[in-house]
Structure 1
Amino acid sequence: MNIKFLKDINTHDLVGGKGLNLAKMYQNGFNIPNGFVITSDVFIDFLKQNNVRNTINDLIKNCNAKIQNELDETSKKIIEILDKCKMSKLIENKIIENFETLNCKYVAVRSSATSEDGKENAWAGTLESFLNVDKNDIIQSVRKCWYSIFKSRALFYRIANCDYSDIAVAVVVQKMVQSDISGVAFSINPTNDDNNEIVIEAVFGLGEAIVSGKVTPDMYILNKNNNKIKDKIIKQQKSKLVKECNKNKWILVKNEKKQKLSDNKIIELSNTIKKIEEFYGFPVDVEWGIQDNKIYILQSRPVTKRIDNSILNTIIKKGDWQFYVARKYNWFVNNTEIYASQKEYQEKFLGFELSTQNYLCINGDEYSLDSDFHIFCDKLDIYFENDINFFENFAKIEFELVEKIKKYLKYIKNKNFEYLNTKEISKEFENFNEIYINSCIPGMTRPDDYLIYKLKEELKNSKFDKNDINNIFLKISTCPNYFPLFYSEEPLDLLKIAQYAKQGNSISKLIDEHIQKYGWMKGPLKFEETFFIKEDYLKRIDNLLDANIEDKIENIKNVRESNDIEYENILQNFKFSEKEKKLIKAIRDFIFLRTYITEYSNYLFFEARNTIFNAISKKVNIAVCDLIMLNDKEILNVLNNNTIMNKTINDRKEGFAKIWLDGNIKTLFGSECLNLQNEIENNFKNIIDEDRKLNKDVISGSIANKGKVRGVARILKLYSDIYKVNKGDILVATMTTPDYVSAMEKAAGFITDEGGITCHAAILSREFNVPCIVGTVNATEQIKDGEIIELDAYKGKVYKLD
């Protein structure tokens, strides 16, 4: 039976962080109220027996935590499902039997999630506790504790931390302490992170009063080293919470200005807090209560990490950061980008450097400084002035790199890595790592924005008028047809398969071939392995069968042909200087390379993940999804020295940040990154310029493909949102990626928060011949899902018509 008393619990029992902490302290002589824990596998069995586990996990995965209504609705659905489930009589009877063994009238019933009070996470306040529970109510209280992990606030915590693992919650049942005085204590001052201070807060009555914030507590600050009281802040307390007739009741305090704890009791409690910190080896936050002058420890957890204010202040003082893009990859990819941003690696690969000076990447949110763009431009000006063929040679290096990647891909696809010894697999990994770093350097040195800026400057100096300049850019910024690109060939190939199906032919073999060629595109750099499957493509084909497939195929071919013709016409119709011609050719080359090299870099990582990383995973017994949360040096260390990296992996899963400040790079991991992300978002990402504030019904962006259309706006924030796009809707997204293509094929127009005229949405809009505006900054926030809008891509405006 998986119900254990505190004295019998060991490290391997599934009792959650709170349950294990209480058991450890109980077994080591701390004054913990006696009790038992209903282990989390009882809860898992409850879900299995009622066959609801997969249903609940799917609801959580598809929930957008940033939309409160959606979060609340998901919570409501899950709790309704659980309410209909039955608990086994065997478990119910055992709970009642253990309750009677405690020989008390009332108990406290508390949730204890698997990672609730572990060192990496502090879930304080997200789960339910029930006090003064009697024998008649204990079963329902246990169920409510189970339910509480699905309440909105707990769901938000899980989703924000990308925690989609199997849900597990244990329940702690303890004798109820009817506290005369209660409170919390910190073994470190939580307001300034002073490790030499202990802070104690105290109120008269039950601890619920202080946790809920209904009563302002006394505060006592002690010097941890000599245990002397440094400061006391005594607060007036007019009423206190007490237990009376099976209910909590507020009663008046007789001496409302009295100090809650005597000095001797403050020092006694301080000594206990120090012992708990010494026992765990890290700063602790402790709930305590005093009954009949005896101190009881009710629970202990790590002090939640705070933001390093020095880092935050340095970032804020650096300047006005501009939000660029949001894209969250695994840590191996992120760390490789750190290498790719550095002078040493760039000079080795390119022969010159455009190293990153100031940049932020915090849990996927990326920010840059405008001032850095000018420094970047100055470097490129010097290179270009010294060598008019600079960009031609720059592009040549990147084209040659793709050819090397193609050859290497053939090699790893045909190589069996599983039978290599440790030395051999280490060498293979190092070879992959070198070419992968090189494949990431183009992404950290893109000259696209400079080239556009520079050409406009040159054309203005040559007295081109504004209309001519706009027309030139519209024609030269289309993607050239140098080589096939995965993202543009995939929808065309699927149209051909749909055409074949429409003629009554079997397409099973064609779909299998399509999967082999394009299935990797769904999310090659994500934490989890994602891959398009047959059902994904069959759904898209079903949607395409109603369309005029032949016209769509012909349109794509015509657009590509006309793009090249219009480009040549621009070169013939205008008299450009030699310098301007070089810049125009460079823009054309790097528009293509932006996608071409990114695709092959992503494909390279995808294949390595399924070959080299997979082989290493089997040797070191670490799942691939965990292995890719390590950097290259750490992976080799694990492989060659069996180094344990569990905490490092867990911290990075919780959050990570890369911070470039004046060329120096700092990395952060764990919950601190989530807090920093919120602070930076509030300071920079959520700022709307004055024009947008004055007219919220008009949204502006850059024209990517001209046209005008009215329709229903469909906001895409998650992959699952693609299924709500119907034919004729207007797709609104932060940015589009190849896994959005099924929705883009149905949409009458595209609007994105991010990106420029060379982004994925821009190029596909031309191929699909639909209007498109990009770079609106916050269309996904300003437009409501289902709202009627007009997308005017002649003016670069979106109008809200509702």
Structure 2
Amino acid sequence: MELLRDFKKIDKSDVSFAGGKGASLGEMTKAGIPVPFGFVILSSAFEKFLEETDLNVEIEAILDSVNHKEMHTVEHASEKIEALILGAVMPKDIEDEVQKFFKNLDSQYVAVRSSATAEDSASAAWAGQLESYLNTNEENLLENVKKCWASLFTPRAIFYRFEKDLHKQKISVAVVVQKMIESEKSGIAFSVHPVTQDRNQVIIEAGFGLGEAIVSGQITPDSYVVEKQPRQIIDKNIQTQSRGLYRARKGGNEWRDILKDKGEKQVLSDEEILELSETILHIENHYGFPCDIEWAFENGKFYIVQSRPITTLHNNQNNLSSDFLRLIGGKKLYPPLNNYSAFIQGSEYNIQKYYGKWYDNKVKLDLLILMRSEFSQVWLSETDIKLASEYALKEFITSPKKFDKRLKLFYKNIDKINELYEKYSYEKINNSSWDELIPLIDEIRDLIWDANAAVIFTIYLDKDFCWDILESIQYKITRQELEAIWPHGTEPAFESFDKAQLEHFLNLLKKKKKLLEISEQCQYFLTDYFSAKSLGVIEKTLQDNFSSFINNSASVSDTLIAEKKKLQISIEKHEKWLSTLTRNEKEVADYLQLIMKTRDRRKNFFAKGLTIIYRIAEKMFSEVGLPFDLIPFYTMKELNMGLEYLEKSAKNLGDRKNGFQLLIPSSDNVKMLEFPIDQAVEEVNTYFVSSHSTGGNDEILKGQIGSKGNVRGKVRIVLNVNSDYGFQDGEILVTGMTRPEYVPLMKKASGVVTDEGGITCHAAIVSRELGIPCVIGTKIATRMFKTGDLVEVDANNGLVRVLEKSK
């Protein structure tokens, strides 16, 4: 049985065993188009793997249980299948063949890409459905091949297969392994304008660095329009690029800042645009149909790394009815938080004294919080977080007693918070005086910030970064030893969050606590703070049907006990592995596990402290007669001012909820800026997006045309696809950038508006396929609009107009 084949021996008729991507690369290689050398691990290798590991029957049975309209069945099936594939051993003959072909490439780094046998036909694009792993080296090659196999069963790939009615077909997957081009510039091109469908125009998008940044919508690229006859550039849209994705020094990818002078320049010269256009037309003429092409540029030469049919062209143009990291101002943007979390982080408080205390005043932790109605966002200085990480690792190695003092304080504070959490139940708080409760707020705040500052270094964990630090202090460990330790050392800490929560739930059940108390604690934990690394079945049981948990606590108890046994097995395996390490290796492994463990304990500790404060706030708001949904917009300082102040500030709280707050911690307190929704854009621009202006104002926002059309509808802001925020049919989806998992929402939407992306990004491609209007690259849509605003999406002109603001 043939398992692998060189590009030179593959052509476009080999989709059934090389997949769409593999067949296309082979076809272009034979046609003399500049394609980096490579080979395909044929679908027969995947099928042999399934057969020899006896996984095929299990996978088929799991897929039979899927109802793609109920996403939890898709996700559950995906988790099971991916775990089966990644946990199985690759047959020796396949492994030997892959390594032999890899050596023949004579390349240190390769791109490893999935290539489904039903991929990229003229009517269906698997845009982003399957996985790719860039800058793969020999060490992680085999593992990434298995990850590509498993990506045939990600939730989005399973969903897409059902949506395109491909689930009844036999779909297998090949894997493309291709010499990695170290792209100076890269991008995407269409041999026909994908928006206007003008067949006399070529569209090229270009950015500095790897093209993955463009495909994923994480940068907005230059775009050029080239007329075929006569051959000339007729339009150029030059963007400023502040960062790019590049090969990391020791493999993998990393974001790097781009100097302003370079980032403001046109990525491709006019001569390069025309040269690339010739190659694009060569490909279109060879295939005889319009093509969507990915290209890269290295050492003065263009390379084609992928080509597929354009799937979004319509026969009748008149029927076309129609992006936790991003850097803003040098700050790392964290995902939307629960407002209660921002509430405590943004307290009027001298947080800097704690960071100075634990990091010799080297870490100030530049922190900025934006709160808007149903979500919050936090900006942290990545430079400060890295400094904290460097400081802590050096301290762990060179000053273990000092590091131990740090941990003792952390655990002492955890114990104190746990003690207070058990003591101050709702009943206790309701029966306590304000003379007792007000000082309690300050005590909890002190406990949280001191412990949080001590272990803030756990946020940042990077292998190359750790190696550089160990090397700088001449620690006796080799790079190879660190590479071997890393996967085991960074597994979820078995003695931490998961086990603690298992014990917590089991104890509640054993003690036959009141169902109301179990409900409160479990629901709070799951809806706001669950880290979803494991215990997926419990998470889904409780989140999807919480009442069934309350009514069937015995069955959940059985599930918890079974999960506890699995964890114990994992602990024993981990301890056995530790016994094989040298002293220095074990020291590094202990540090990595300490980070994993502390990360989780930090979350739980933070959540419990916040719960006590929130209970106190509920008592206060209940006495005054204010709704609890206003609590997140009340600050720590205001809580301390008592009931009379709260009564007077009721209207102010309502205004905050319907507007914005900026919380800016400084050296001695937190500056709080408040402003209504109609002033938000101007104010937010002042702090975040003044250097990214797209010409938008508070009534009209300008972006690029992703998919033509015109529609009116109510805005629904979606910042985290894990929650659709009650998305209704016909609403306008406003988000940072869509990814494949957003497709179910896009099918409900009447239009799409994004902050980032170019005309070849996921949002634009899928919107054209669905035939709905789409405006992309607005930069500030998610900060300018509010859920419920009535807007007009004029995607014929790239504009979004506010017709009526929500009240």
| Length-normalised TM-score, structure 2 | 0.38
Bigger relative CO (Cα 8 Å, ≥ 6 apart): 2
| Length-normalised TM-score, structure 1 | 0.39
Computing the radius of gyration from Cα coordinates, the structure with the larger value is 1
